Structure 1
Amino acid sequence: MPIRVLIADDIPTTREDIKRLLYFEEDIEVVGEAADGQDAVRMVGELKPDVVLMDINMPNLDGIAATEQITMVAPKTAIIIISIQGEYEYLRKAMAAGAREYLVKPFSATDLANAIRRVHDAQQRRNALITAPPPVSVFGGASKKRGKIVTFFSSKGGVGRTTLACNLAVMLAQETKKNVALLDLDLDSGDVAVMLNISAKVTVADLAQEQENFDMQLVEGFLIPHLSGVRVLPAPPSPEQAELINANHVEQLLKVMRENFDYLIIDTSPLYNEINLAVLELSDTVVLVLNQELTTLKHVKTDADILKRLNCEFKIKFVLNGQDGDGVKVKDVERTLGSPLAVIIPEDSRTVKNAINRGVPFVMAQPNARVSDGVRELMEKLELIKDENSPEEPRKKSIIMRMFSL
C-alpha cells in the first residue's frame, strides 16, 4: 500500500508545488489538503493519513500547536514540519511538539520523498510496538535481576572514554555470553554508533518521545543489535534532539534495563548536568578516564573530589588510557589523585585509529594486541565476570540535591 500523505499549508501554490514534487513517487499518495492547523487536525481524524506535511506558520492554529494535538489524538500518524525558518529554536519546538522530522524550504523531490519514507518506516516500527502482544522475554524467567551499571566519565574530552566503553561492552558480550547493553548518553555529540559502524535509525531521543513511562517491551524496539551480541541505544544525531531527553527519562530507562540486562555500559558527556548526575547516582562503578596530560589530571582530580563530596567515592575506578613514556609519570599521577590507578591501558594509536576508522572495535579486530589486553584487565579489575546481585544501598539524599548544596 502507498504511504498516505496529508499536506497542511495555508498557501495553495505551495500545496500544488508539493503535490508536483511527489507526483512520480509511486509509493506515496496525497490523500488530502488542509489550509490551516484546525483543518489539519480535523482531516487527520477523518482520513487517518500515515504522514502529515505540516507548515509551521498557519492561521487559526499554527503548525506547532496542530502537531501537539495530532500527536495526542492520532499517535500512529507521523508529522514532518516544513518551514522557511531554519533556526534552531523552531526546530527545537517542532521536535518537542512531536514532529518526527523538520524540512527547510525549498527542498528537492528526493529530499521530500526520502523524508516521508524515513519517518513512515520509523512510525511503522513504533505502531508495531503499540499493537503487539507482550513478547516472551529473551532474558529468562520472570524473576528480576539487578544488572551492573558501569559508567565512563571525564569532564575532559579526548581521553578515549567512548573507545574504552565500546570495547569493554564488546569484550563483555563475547567473553561472558551474557546480556550486555551499551548506552550512548553523550547526547550532544555521541560517537558510539560511528565506532561500532551502526546505522542509527532510532535513538534514545525517539524513545523519549514515545510515552511517559518506559517498560522493557518498549525499550527493546529501540535497541540496535551489534554483531558482537551487544545491544546498543545510540545518541541523537543532532544536538537539538538532546533537549527531548530529561533526567526522568534516563532514570526510568536505567531502572528498566538493569532488570533485564546483566551489564549496562554507559558513555557520557563531559559535563556535570542533571542527566549525568542521575546516571552517576544509579551506577555501580564510575570509570574516570584520564591521560598523562597535566590539564587532564587537573580535571579528573576535580571530578574525583566532586564524586567524593557526593558520597560516591566507593564507585570510582581511575583508568589511565594511552600510557607512554611522555607526560606526567604514573607515580605522580597516583600521588596527585591520592589513589592507585585501577588499570593502565598502553598507548597503541595505530591499532585504535584503524579500529575507529573501520568501525570494528579493536578487541574484535586485534584481540591479542596490547591495548586489547588492557581492556581485558579492566574487565577483570572491575570484577564484571562475577555474579554479584547485592541489594542497592538506600539513598539518603538525591545526588542532584546534594550537588547543588555543595
Structure 2
Amino acid sequence: MTTRILPAVGDPDAARSLSTLLSQLPDAEPALPVSDSTALLDTLARLAGESLDELPEVVLVHERIGPVPALELMREVGLRFPGVGVVLITADPSPGLFSAAMDAGARGLIGLPLGYEELTARVSTAAAWAVGVRKHLSSSADVFTGPGGTVVTVTGSKGGVGTTLTTVQLALAARASGKSVAILDLDLQSGDVASYLDVQFRRSIVDLAGISDISPRVLQDAVFAHPTGIGILLAPAEGERGEEVTDRVARQAVSALRNRYEVVVVDCGTQMSGANAAAVEMADQALLIVTPDVVSVRAAKRMVRLWDRLQIRKAEETVTVVNRYTRNTEIQPPLVERITGTRVATAAIPSNFKELQTAVDAGRLQDLESRSTVKQALWGLAGELGLVKTPEGKDGKNKAGKRGTATASLEKDDRGSIGLKRRRGGDSGSVTIEFAGMAPVILAIVAILWQAVLYGYSYSLAGNAADEGARAGAVAGVRGAVSQTECEDHAKKRLPDSWQKSFTADCGTEPGGAIYTAKVDVDVPLFFPGFNAGWHVTGEAGAAQEG
C-alpha cells in the first residue's frame, strides 16, 4: 500500500533534508512540503473537499512551523481531519514533550537529526492507524470536512460599524432555524454582547485561561445559557484582564465550542490581538463589516492586508458585509469589493437605526421586530452564509420543496424576518380582496374631490361673468344702450352653455350713481354639467359709471 505523506516544514533547509529522506522510504509518496500552518490547513481542507481518499495518511509537522505553534496545529488537524495521522518532528524528544504531543493528538514523535529507521517506523505506525480509522469512518465522508459546527468570525473595520449587532442577529437567525448556537465575545477590552442581550453573568473566557484542557463540564460552567437557547461565552467585564486571553486560550475555546455547537459566531471587535487573530485563522468563514464611507473602507483594506501579512487569512477567503447601505451613497458594494480585494456579501444591511434604537436601548436585541428591514437583511445574510438549516421530513426530503434555500424554514418560525418568497398559495388573492374592500372608499373620496372642483369652477365663472356684466353696464350709457340689457347679455356670454341655463343677473347703479354693480347667480352641477342639485354660487362685481 502506498503511503501519502505531507510534510509541514518552515525552514527551507530542513524541508529539503526531509524530502530527500522521505523519497527513500519504501511505498511512500511524499508531497511537496508546505511552509506554514495556514498552507497546511488549506491544503488538507481542499483535499478533503474533493474526496476522503485524497487526504494523505501521514502529516509530518516540524516543531518550528508557524505562525500557529506545532502542538496547537496538531490539535487542529486532529479535530478537523481525524483520519490523518500526525507526527511531530522535534529536536527535544523529552518525556514531557512526548506527553504533550500525545495530548495534542500526535501519533508519534521523531527526534532530530532525522534517522531513516526511526522515520520509517513512525510513518508506518501513523499510516496504519490512519487506515484503520478511515475504515470505521468511510461511511460518512462528512466527518472529514470539519468537526462539529461551523465557526464564523465577525470583525469590524473600525469602531461603530455594527460588528456586535451582526454577530447577535446571525446567531439568532441560526438558532431560529433549529441549530445549536454559541456566541464567543473576543472583543476583550470592550465586548458588548452582554449589553445587547441583557446578560448578567460573572464568568467569562478569562476563567478558561488557566485551564490546559477544557472539558465539557468546564465549558458548561463558563457558558451562559441565554433564554433564546444561545450559549454565550462572554468577554471579561474588566478590560485589562483581556491580556490573559492568549491565542492558545482562544484556540482551545473555539475548538471546545465547535465540538459542542453546530454554529459558533465569534465577535472579534475591531482590534487585532493574538486571541481574535487565532479565531479568524480557525474560522470557516470570516466576515469583515464596513460602512460605505472612505474611512471605513480604508480601514477594511488595512485589516485585510494585516491578515495577509500575518498569514491569518487571505483576502479572497474573506467576506465583506456592507452595513448602513443606501442607494444614494457614492461608495457602492462593487467598489468596496474592488478596493479590498475581498468578496462582498450579496445581502447589504440598510441604514435604519430608528428600527434598532428601542431594542438596543433596552438591551434586548432578541426582541427586534420581524418587520425590521435591518433584521430581514441580517437574517438573509445568515441564509447566504449557510448558517440556517431546513428541517427534513420523514422521507428525508426538504420541507421547503423546490425552493431548497437554507433560510426557507425560518419563514414559519419568524414570518417576515427573511426577505424570501412567501409560501406558495399562502397569500394568493389577498391583494384583490383588499382592493375590493377599499374601492368604495376610494370612489367616495374621488367623487368628493371632483365635486369640490366643480364648486370652485362655478364660483370662478360667476365672478368673471359679474365682472364682465358690470363693465358693460357702466359704459352702456355712452353708447346709448340700455345698461340692464348690456349687463345681462355680456355676463351670459362669459358662461359655458351648461351654466347659462341656470343663469340669473341683477344689475343696477348703487345709490349716488357712481358705481354700476352686477350680481350673477349660477347653479353648481352635480358631478357633470347639466345635472343640478339646487346648489348656487353668486359672483359680484362693480365698475365706475361712465357717461
TM-score (structure 1 length as normaliser): 0.56
Q: Is 2:201 the counterpart of 1:197? A: no
Q: Distance in 1 between matches of 2:305 and 2:147?
A: 32
Q: Distance in 2 between matches of 1:314 and 1:228?
A: 34
Query: Counterpart in 2 of 1:335?
Result: 338
Query: Counterpart in 2 of 1:284?
Result: 284
Letter matched to residue 365 of structure 2: P
Any conservation in 1 of the 2:148–2:258 contact (CA below 8 Å)?
yes
Q: Is 2:213 the counterpart of 1:213? A: yes
How far residue 192 of structure 1 moved from its aligned partner, in angstroms, is 0.4
Superposed, which structure 2 residues align to 1:7-406 within 5 Å?
A: 145-174=147-176, 176-209=177-210, 211-308=211-308, 310=311, 311-324=313-326, 325-326=328-329, 328-342=331-345, 343-361=347-365, 364-385=367-388
Query: Counterpart in 2 of 1:394?
Result: none
Task: After superposition, give the CA deviation of every residue in 1:58-102 in whole Å (9 maximum; x if it has no partner).
Answer: xxxxxxxxxxxxxxxxxxxxxxxxxxxxxxxxxxxxxxxxxxxxx
TM-score (structure 2 length as normaliser): 0.42
Any conservation in 2 of the 1:216–1:257 contact (CA below 8 Å)?
no
Any conservation in 1 of the 2:173–2:379 contact (CA below 8 Å)?
yes
More moved, 348-357 vs 284-293: 348-357
- Structure 1 residues 155, 372: closer, same or farther in 2, change over 3 A? closer
Bigger RCO (CA 8 Å, 6+ sep): 1
Q: Secondary structure at the match of 2:272?
A: coil
More moved, 193-202 vs 239-248: 239-248
Any conservation in 1 of the 2:150–2:264 contact (CA below 8 Å)?
yes
Query: Counterpart in 2 of 1:96?
Result: none
Question: Any stretches of 5+ residues in structure 2 without a counterpart?
Answer: 1-142, 391-547
Any conservation in 1 of the 2:157–2:289 contact (CA below 8 Å)?
no
Q: Distance in 1 between matches of 2:331 and 2:172?
A: 30
Letter matched to residue 240 of structure 1: E
Q: Secondary structure at the match of 2:175?
A: helix
Letter matched to residue 196 of structure 1: L
How far residue 314 of structure 1 moved from its aligned partner, in angstroms, is 4.6
Q: Distance in 2 between matches of 1:339 and 1:287?
A: 10
Give the count of matched residue pairs: 242
Letter matched to residue 170 of structure 1: L
Task: After superposition, give the CA deviation of every residue in 1:139-172 in whole Å (9 maximum; x if it has no partner).
Answer: xxxx994210000013411100011101111121
Q: Secondary structure at the match of 1:243?
A: helix
Letter matched to residue 237 of structure 1: A
Any conservation in 1 of the 2:334–2:344 contact (CA below 8 Å)?
no
Any conservation in 2 of the 1:145–1:258 contact (CA below 8 Å)?
yes
- Structure 1 residues 248, 165: closer, same or farther in 2, change over 3 A? same
- Structure 1 residues 370, 207: closer, same or farther in 2, change over 3 A? same
Task: After superposition, give the CA deviation of every residue in 1:249-308 in whole Å (9 maximum; x if it has no partner).
Answer: 111111111111101000013123211221111100000000011011001122223434
Q: Secondary structure at the match of 2:188?
A: coil
Q: Distance in 1 between matches of 2:186 and 2:350?
A: 26
Q: Distance in 1 between matches of 2:209 and 2:274?
A: 16
Any conservation in 2 of the 1:154–1:303 contact (CA below 8 Å)?
no
Task: After superposition, give the CA deviation of every residue in 1:14-39 in whole Å (9 maximum; x if it has no partner).
Answer: xxxxxxxxxxxxxxxxxxxxxxxxxx
Letter matched to residue 371 of structure 2: N
Q: Secondary structure at the match of 1:322?
A: coil
Any conservation in 2 of the 1:149–1:285 contact (CA below 8 Å)?
yes
Letter matched to residue 301 of structure 1: K
Any conservation in 1 of the 2:182–2:263 contact (CA below 8 Å)?
yes
Task: After superposition, give the CA deviation of every residue in 1:333-392 in whole Å (9 maximum; x if it has no partner).
Answer: 333234552120111101122221111226x421121111101211111122359xxxxx
- Structure 1 residues 246, 334: closer, same or farther in 2, change over 3 A? closer
Letter matched to residue 360 of structure 1: R
Any conservation in 2 of the 1:157–1:270 contact (CA below 8 Å)?
yes
Percent of pairs identical after alignment? 26
How far residue 242 of structure 1 moved from its aligned partner, in angstroms, is 1.2
Q: Distance in 1 between matches of 2:361 and 2:372?
A: 17
- Structure 1 residues 314, 330: closer, same or farther in 2, change over 3 A? closer
Q: Secondary structure at the match of 1:305?
A: helix
Letter matched to residue 317 of structure 1: V
